[in-house]
Structure 1
Amino acid sequence: MRRTDRPRTARRPGRRLPVCAASLTALSALVLGSGPAAAQDPVANRAPGPVTWRADLAAGTGDEANITRADGSLRLRDGRLRPASVRARQGQGTAVLPARVLDRAVNRIAVDLDATTPAGTRTAVDVRGRDGLGRWTEWREARAGEPAVLPRAVTEVQARLTLVGAPAGTTPEIRGLGLSAELGAPAAGAGASAASAAAPFSARVFATREGLVGGTTANGHVIVPDDHFVALPSRRGLSPKGSAEYSVRVCGPARCETAPVWDVGPWNTHDDHWNPSSVRETFKDLPQGKPEAQAAYENGYNGGRDEFGRRVLNPAGIDLADGTFYNVGLDDNGWVTVTYLWTGDGAATRSFPTWGMGVNIRKQATTASTRVAQLAGPTTVRVQCQVRGQLVQIDGWSNDAWSYLPDYGGYVSNIYIDVPEGWLPGVPTC
């Protein structure tokens, strides 16, 4: 790249340094190759080809519920054991597989599932990812020929297998799982939802008491007296057993409590009513924050029935374990305010132009970190936050600020953000 390729309007604060071997080393670490200017879309800037791997189903993960192994295959251990909250007739089991750390940013995950599903049974593969800020996305189901599209780019991917048996006790079998991940266009609505600062979503929801002491939740937790957790009617926000990665804040008549999501229900299992209609898994014609059971009970939606065809007898969109139920001040089923704590972006994003060809995006704010993506040429990027990292020197300019780009799952030196300021205005610290 020639020095004259850089726009004349750019300025960088910091001391002026002579061109030297150190600056050329930093330049070669940041910039590789040249080519045409990139389109303003991560598709044009992804690393070549997907990354693929096969899951090891033979080894136990320690994060399983109602699963048994035989010859490397997974089946239900008990075809009659089902999640406590949903009160369905079908047995269910889950296995959360170890997370896979990748050498590039991805947001589209395809699966190749080798499974047998007798009549009345089914299987599902949910995936999620962890980004450069350490945040997990929600789980998204990946189906044959229909990759899961995560809401932001990630560099770590985890899969969860769900097996659902027939009412008679027949169980499906999973023999193998292949995964393929790449960086594609952002999920629909991802840019819009992150364009402004978004606090976690809250809604007023009808709550019922789960009870069912001695029962088993969807993540394998055995319910004890005075327990503290909640159930929501979708697997998308289900925490692994013992974790609080997906939690809600429930405010009742007396007080508020933060509790993990450990079960799936009530009524439905594919009703992520906290998500915008555009990304809601099912019942997309309902407004954000309105559970399907509430619409069915109050307005006769879906013929007044849940996804299983059962007549909905109350408008519940959340179940509370006994300890949580009484702690927030309920003595009977009633309305509470629920905040879905994982849903907020936590910060606004701002768009900035870049300059330079073949600009590398790194997993961390240093040129020694893994390259997760590359900007082929000048483009516009969304910046979520910035940090002080490695001091980068190029052609006499120096800057230790790096910006986190959520669409690429990594950091870029602010030297390549084409604005006069080295520390970007209006962008918070990560």
Structure 2
Amino acid sequence: MRQRRQRQRWLSGLVATLACAGLAVNTSPAGAADSQKSTRVASGGITWPANLTRIDADDVNVRYAQGALRIRQQDFHSASAGTEQGYGTQVLAPKKLDRPVNRVQAELSARVPSGARVSVDIRGRVEDGSWTEWREAAGTAAALPRTVTTVQARITIWDKDGTARIQGLRLTADRGPEPRTERRAAAFSARVFATREGLVGGTTANGHIIKPNDHFVALPSRRGLSPNGSSQYSVQVCGPARCETAPVWDVGPWNTRDDYWNPSATRESFKDLPQGRPEAQAAYENGYNGGLDGSGRRVANPAGIDLADGTFANVGLSDNGWVTVTYLWTGSQTGKTFPTWGTDVRIRQQATTASAEVGRLAGPTQVNVQCQVHGQRITVDGITNDAWSYLPGYGGYISNIFIDVADSWLPGVPQC
């Protein structure tokens, strides 16, 4: 059980060289990109080809055949957004680098027909184990928001005809000027309107099959989308009854490019809106964008978050309503980072199984432990321990049994 996973027209050839937190395939004529100025990483950067051949549990509706990555089912769409068929995504293996970097340049080789789209997002892992948000390239090189030592890429395809072919991806990383933005000490919170996602049996944007009484959320941007089974991007949702910490596993409601939790200057779209105000809310309440969402649909409610059925009920909602959401990855990480194992691991308000559940770890992930205590003695899979770790990002405790190290009492972690 403790096993951890190691983990228009046709354009052809090298389509575009774009950088930073992502890459969007250029669907303009090939010569057009050459006439635009772009910033590239230094010639002494670290360069590696991405392996597109390995398809695993992180990947959604894609296959590798005849030398190219392509869509598996043309009619597939993710549950919450649900507007574009032919959706698929591949999360590539992380690349550990031998020195810190803060810029990444990508070269994508692909054939993309008119009507199809391909993007590449990139994120980085910093020394404390946390990840930066995913970023899509805008056509020029840009710095990652923090200096990182590990880089990971994600390819997303929208291709309802099933004819796009992704043949290769090369990444180059180096260290440029230091980022000017600093991480907030406290994670950002906002009061937003929540709707119930439901859609049991559907598939989320990260490949999770929705179950009855499920615990996850959807946000209207892929920048904070966790890989399937992980809690790398999680939110704390506080409703009328209680708070719950849940992972971000789907994209929606309404929009797919509205990271409203970010400052206006770094927001992906709708930069004239203030931080914390979803586009759907502005459209519904104030007629912003003519009352339409980013896809041109009439906005019928001000939702900025979708809640899976279990989360919806647990926070005390019986109908759609207002909740306070904290976007946990936007704050500084505190404590020491450890891997976990197991599925549906409960996070408790206190160090006992009788205490209220404040969140779950759906699968193996990295957690930051602030301190540890001696609490209820429990046994799981023949392992007995009374030590519990406090996870500041979730506001609760998990048994040290689920921390994937040999020690019962974690080394280097103080007592609470």
The alignment's TM-score, normalised by the length of structure 1, stands at 0.66
What is the CA-CA distance between 1:159 and the residue it aligns to? 0.3
- The superposition leaves residues 41-92 of structure 1 with CA deviations (integer Å, 9 ceiling, x where unpaired) of xxxxx99721111111122344211111102311111111111001213321
Call closer, same or farther: CA 1:171–1:329 in 2, change over 3 Å.
Answer: farther
What is the CA-CA distance between 1:276 and the residue it aligns to? 0.6
Q: 1:160 corresponds to which residue?
A: 154
Q: 2:71 corresponds to which residue?
A: 76
What is the CA-CA distance between 1:306 and the residue it aligns to? 1.1
The residue matched to 1:303 in structure 2 has which SS?
Answer: helix
Q: 1:134 corresponds to which residue?
A: 129
Q: 1:338 corresponds to which residue?
A: 325
Structure with greater Cα Rg: 1
Letter in 2 for 1:293: A
Pair 1:293-2:288 in alignment: no
- Aligned sequence identity (%): 65
CA contact (8 A) 1:227 1:324 kept: yes
CA contact (8 A) 1:164 1:171 kept: no
**Structure 2 CA distance for aligned equivalents of residues 171 and 310 of structure 1:** 27
- The superposition leaves residues 172-216 of structure 1 with CA deviations (integer Å, 9 ceiling, x where unpaired) of 2211101111111244x51xx44xx62000000100000000000
The residue matched to 1:136 in structure 2 has which SS?
Answer: coil
What is the CA-CA distance between 1:346 and the residue it aligns to? 4.4
The residue matched to 2:108 in structure 1 has which SS?
Answer: strand
Unaligned 5+ residue runs, structure 2?
A: 1-40, 335-416
Picking from 113, 117, 121, the partner of 1:118 is 113
Pair 1:328-2:328 in alignment: no
CA contact (8 A) 2:57 2:228 kept: no
- The superposition leaves residues 233-275 of structure 1 with CA deviations (integer Å, 9 ceiling, x where unpaired) of 0011000000000000000011110000000001111110000
CA contact (8 A) 1:67 1:77 kept: yes
Picking from 140, 165, 169, the partner of 1:146 is 140
What is the CA-CA distance between 1:162 and the residue it aligns to? 0.4
Map of 1:81-230 to 2, 5 A cutoff? 81-143=76-138, 145-166=139-160, 169-187=161-179, 189-190=180-181, 193-194=182-183, 198-230=185-217
Higher relative contact order (CA 8 A, sep 6+): 1
Map of 1:246-261 to 2, 5 A cutoff? 246-261=233-248
**Structure 2 CA distance for aligned equivalents of residues 254 and 62 of structure 1:** 35
Q: Which stretch shifts more, 206-215 or 130-139?
A: 130-139
> Segments of 4+ in structure 1 off by > 3 A?
none
The residue matched to 2:223 in structure 1 has which SS?
Answer: helix
What is the CA-CA distance between 1:315 and the residue it aligns to? 0.6
The residue matched to 2:130 in structure 1 has which SS?
Answer: coil
The alignment's TM-score, normalised by the length of structure 2, stands at 0.68
**Structure 1 CA distance for aligned equivalents of residues 96 and 239 of structure 2:** 40
Unaligned 5+ residue runs, structure 1?
A: 1-45, 348-430
- Give the count of matched residue pairs: 294
Q: 1:302 corresponds to which residue?
A: 289
CA contact (8 A) 1:123 1:161 kept: yes
**Structure 1 CA distance for aligned equivalents of residues 193 and 143 of structure 2:** 31
Q: Considering only aligned residues, what root-mean-square deviation do their CA atoms show, in Å?
A: 1.7
**Structure 2 CA distance for aligned equivalents of residues 94 and 47 of structure 1:** 29
Q: 2:59 corresponds to which residue?
A: 64
**Structure 2 CA distance for aligned equivalents of residues 252 and 313 of structure 1:** 22
**Structure 2 CA distance for aligned equivalents of residues 335 and 248 of structure 1:** 15
Q: 1:42 corresponds to which residue?
A: none
Call closer, same or farther: CA 1:71–1:271 in 2, change over 3 Å.
Answer: same
The residue matched to 1:65 in structure 2 has which SS?
Answer: coil
CA contact (8 A) 1:61 1:98 kept: no
Q: 2:255 corresponds to which residue?
A: 268
CA contact (8 A) 2:77 2:84 kept: yes
Pair 1:233-2:199 in alignment: no
Q: 1:52 corresponds to which residue?
A: 47
**Structure 1 CA distance for aligned equivalents of residues 198 and 162 of structure 2:** 28
Call closer, same or farther: CA 1:148–1:122 in 2, change over 3 Å.
Answer: farther
- The superposition leaves residues 267-319 of structure 1 with CA deviations (integer Å, 9 ceiling, x where unpaired) of 11111000011111111111100011111111111111111111111110100
Letter in 1 for 2:146: R
